[in-house]
Amino acid sequence: MTPTPIITIQTAVLPTTTISSISSTSPSPTINTADIKAEYYASPSYNISYGVPAPILQTRNTWQKIVYGILFMIIGLIEVFYGYKLIRVTLLVMGFLFWSSTSVIILLIIDNSNETFRSALFYFAIWLGFGTLGGLLSYWCWHLGLILSSAYGGFAFIITILTLSHITLDILRYILITFFVLLPPLVVYRYEKHAINIATSIAGSYTFFYGIDEFANQGYKEMIQLARSDGALRFKPTIVIYIMITFTLLLAAFGIGFEHIFHEIPCNNSWCGDKHRREEKHSEDENNNVLVHQRMKNFFILLFSQKLKKRGGGSG
């Protein structure tokens, strides 16, 4: 699909006089968008200029936004309160979110560098396709799922911190993003319970409020746009976004405490818990016990045979 230039989008939906008035006066005019078609929307969140209100109204609830919103709110609450309890579901969900978010971010960075954006349906297809693939791989590959689940938690944490910190140096932003995405997978195997609990609570809280913003349209979901950090295209949080971030952190903290107190171990179920891992561990323990028993048996047989030989030699 050929990307649609921004100027083409503007020309398609606005008369010439309106475009000239936008460029000469206010960057966020009130526009009649009754005749705007869905394919004219410029990005998954319909904000073509990363935080600056686009000339295309971004508050229309399309079917993609409705799917995003409902799905993200449900997933978010499950991950906040049952992320470690339903660990197999977590591997599926977090793998989906990691792959889908990464694919859309990469595509947005490419499109932003070309100053063109594609249709909302195209972004939705990329989001759904890569997310489904990543979710299934994470579900069946336990270790990959742990890595992606913890990495997505680190990602959700750092983009929230970057929004609050106003760091404008691109290289520093990317270093911090890389650090917080790579650090959790390094510690998840040593501190699995705590790492997954913290990662799922943070990521779940972020995902829940992301879903709310699909309907509220306050700009919270624009935090995911990391390509520009300065100048006119920089994402600029509002008071409402700061309030949503505050509640994001509070909900995450509550989820961490809830899981720590009430969910000591994952549920013993093959499709949503870690039953298969317990069975493997139990089988391994049994094999170890059999091996130890056999070694002890061989030791006593050898010891008894040596005593018999000594007695036989003495009597001879």
Residue 101 covered by a domain: yes
Residue 293 covered by a domain: no
Look at the chain and report how many structural domains it folds into.
1
Residue 83 covered by a domain: yes
Residue 45 covered by a domain: no
The pLDDT of residue 191 = 92
- Domain span at residue 196? 61-262
The pLDDT of residue 138 = 92
Residue 161 covered by a domain: yes
Question: Each residue's pLDDT tens digit in the chain (316 positions)?
Answer: 444 443 333 333 333 333 333 333 334 444 444 444 443 333 344 433 333 333 333 455 677 788 879 989 999 999 999 999 999 999 999 999 899 988 988 887 788 777 777 777 888 889 899 999 999 999 999 899 999 999 999 999 998 988 888 777 878 888 999 999 999 999 998 899 999 999 999 999 999 999 999 898 888 888 876 545 454 455 678 899 999 999 999 999 999 999 999 988 888 877 787 765 665 554 554 455 556 556 666 766 776 677 666 666 555 5
The pLDDT of residue 113 = 77
Residue 117 covered by a domain: yes
Query: Using H for helix, E for strand and C for coil, what is the string for the chain?
Result: CCCEEHHHHHHHHCCHHHHHHHHHCCCCCCCCCCCCCHHHCCCCCCCCECCECCCCCCCCCCHHHHHHHHHHHHHHHHHHHHCCCCHHHHHHHHHHHHHHHHHHHHHHHHHHHHCEECCHHHHHHHHHHHHHHHHHHHHHCHHHHHHHHHHHHHHHHHHHHHHHHCCCCHHHHHHHHHHHHHHHHHHCCCCHHHHHHHHHHHHHHHHHHHHHHHHHCCCHHHHHCCCCCCHHHCCCCCHHHHHHHHHHHHHHHHHHHHHHHHCCCCCCCCCCCCHHHHHHHHHHHHHHHHHHHHHHHHHHHHHHHHHHHHHHHHHC
Residue 309 covered by a domain: no
The pLDDT of residue 136 = 94
Give the predicted TM-score (pTM) of the model: 0.68
Residue 285 covered by a domain: no
